[in-house]
Amino acid sequence: MLHPVGDLPAGVYWRRRALVLGIAASLLGGGGWLVASTVPTTETDPQVAASSGPAQPSLEAPSLEQVVPSLASVQTPAAPEEGSATASAAPPAEETAAAPVTAAAPDPGQPCTDDMVAVDVLPGAPQATVGSKPTMTLVVTNVSGVPCTRSLDAGLREIVLLDGAGARVWGSNDCFPEVSSDARVLAAGEAVGFPLQWGGLTSEPACTAPRSAPPAGAYSLQGRLDTKVGDPTPFTLVA
Q: Which pLDDT does position 86 carry in this prediction?
A: 44
Domain positions in the chain are 7-36, 114-238
Q: How far is CA 139 from CA 33, 111, 131, 147, 175, in A?
A: 147, 18, 25, 17, 21
Share above pLDDT 90 across residues of the chain, in percent, rounded to a whole number? 52
Of the candidates 211, 218, 213, 212, the one whose C-alpha atom is nearest the C-alpha of residue 237 is 218
Q: Which pLDDT does position 108 carry in this prediction?
A: 77
- pLDDT 10s digits, 167-213: 999 999 999 988 889 999 999 999 999 999 999 999 999 999 999 99
- pTM of the shown model: 0.56
Q: Which pLDDT does position 30 carry in this prediction?
A: 57
Collapsed DSSP state (helix, strand, coil) of residue 151: strand
CATH superfamily of 114-238: Intracellular proteinase inhibitor BsuPI (2.60.40.2360)
- pLDDT 10s digits, 102-116: 656 667 789 999 999
Of the candidates 130, 129, 136, 143, the one whose C-alpha atom is nearest the C-alpha of residue 187 is 143
